[in-house]
Amino acid sequence: MADTAGIIRRIRNEIGDMQSPFLDTYLGADELASYDLSETGVTEVTAKVTTVDPPATVDLVADTDYVLDSAEGRIVLINPDFSPLHHGQTLIVRGVAQGLFTDADLETYIGDAVQQHAYGRSKVTRYRDAHGFIRYDREPFTLENLPAVEEPLVAYLAAINCLWTLATDAATDIDISTAEGTFVPRTQRYRQLMQHIGDATTGLQGRYNTLAQQLNVGLGRIEMFTLRRVSRTTNRLVPVFESREYDDSSRPQRLLPPIDGQEYEDESNVPSPTYPGLWG
């Protein structure tokens, strides 16, 4: 069974977006109640206030003693005993900076990657029901029942989506050239990101495609389809049913393959005659 936390670690390793711990200490001076942390995009924050006379340590409670702005990396003390921070008091804040993407952002990318990677596939389990008949249970692939060999592929696909987000942000950068001869190639960041993403055979996309083709998974996998046949007597499509195992005693399951050719649809709204041979 795939682990979301494990896939997040894989993604951070692939895109170089590692979390970094931090420890900030602030001395009270009866002036400030708001302090900027050394990192932005912080999480897993714990705060405490220590006093010298008398020696004591108080663990602060979020939304009761302080308010945290995770994105900006700012802590605001709201408890009157520490707001503002008095002389002899020390605020100690410990936490983790999430980097470019938060865990919630990466979970969204993982959800999209799983839907794309496992689209149209299901896990088939054979069992015997209470009446002694053999049944087949078809469960769509999710992150919980995805084979372990495909976990890296989901991480690669999610990392590709993350890099596309970074490339979109870098696409607005322009090169800087001054009269003094200074040249800053800011568009190089976009080019490097696009090279790392690659195409069907190069970069991270090519890496994913190669492994997906070897396992025959993903949106580009080889599939077998059933051609629809049209009855010559009714000019209607003949029903198609899902193929079953020899010992499968469940009821036949009707299939509804997509029908193309809507661009040829008659939009004149002129009704056709009920009986043939009565064309006007």
Q: What is the pLDDT of residues 228-274, one digit of tens each?
A: 888 888 888 899 898 888 888 888 888 888 776 666 777 788 877 66
pLDDT band for position 280 (cuts 50, 70, 90):
very low
Confirm whether 77 is domain-assigned: yes
Segments forming the whole domain that contains residue 149? 103-215
On the CB side of 40, CA atoms within 13 Å amount to 4
User: Within a domain: residue 242?
Assistant: no
Please report the pLDDT score of residue 138 as a whole number. Answer: 85
Distance CA 79, CA 33 (A): 9
116 plus 207 within the same structural domain: yes
Same domain, 82 and 27: yes
Is residue 256 in some structural domain?
A: no
- The domain boundary, picked from 65, 97, 129, lies at 97
Residue 90, token pair as written in the block: 């020390």
**209: amino acid identity, one letter:** N
> Would residue 221 count as lying in a domain?
no
Helices (H), 118-241: 151-170, 188-197, 203-215
| Mean pLDDT value across the chain | 89
Q: Look at residues 97, 128, 161 and tell me which one is the last residue of a structural domain.
A: 97
Exposure class string for 18-31: b at 16+ Cβ within 10 A, else e: ebeeeebebebeee
Residue 15 lies inside a defined structural domain of this protein: no
User: 109 and 86 in one domain?
Assistant: no
Domain presence at residue 78: yes
Helix pair angle (151-170, 4-15), 10° resolution? 50
* pLDDT, position 90: 94
Lowest mean pLDDT among 32-36, 63-67, 231-235, 274-278: 274-278
In this structure, the answer to whether residues 129 and 196 fall within a common structural domain is: yes
Using the predicted structure, report yes or no on whether residue 123 has a pLDDT greater than 60: yes
Residue 119 belongs to a domain:
yes
CA angle 191, 196, 201 (to 5 degrees): 115
Same domain, 34 and 131: no
* 3-class DSSP state of 92: strand
Closest CA to 93 of 21, 11, 146, 181: 21
Residue 239 lies in a domain: no
Q: In the prediction, which pLDDT does 205 show?
A: 95
Cα separation, 60 vs 48, whole angstroms: 5
- 114 and 66 in a common domain: no
Q: Which of 63-67, 77-81, 224-228 is predicted with the least confidence, judged by mean pLDDT?
A: 224-228
| Domain termination residue (choose one: 215, 232, 249) | 215
Q: Span 65-83, mean pLDDT? A: 92
Distance, CA of 126 to CA of 246 (rounded, Å): 12
Indicate the number of domains in the chain. Answer: 2
Residue 220: count of CB within 10 angstroms of its CB: 12
Domain co-membership, 40 together with 129: no
Q: Does 25 share its domain with 68?
A: yes
Give the separation between CA 164 and CA 161, rounded to whole angstroms. 5
Phi, then psi, of 194 in degrees rounded to 5: -65, -35
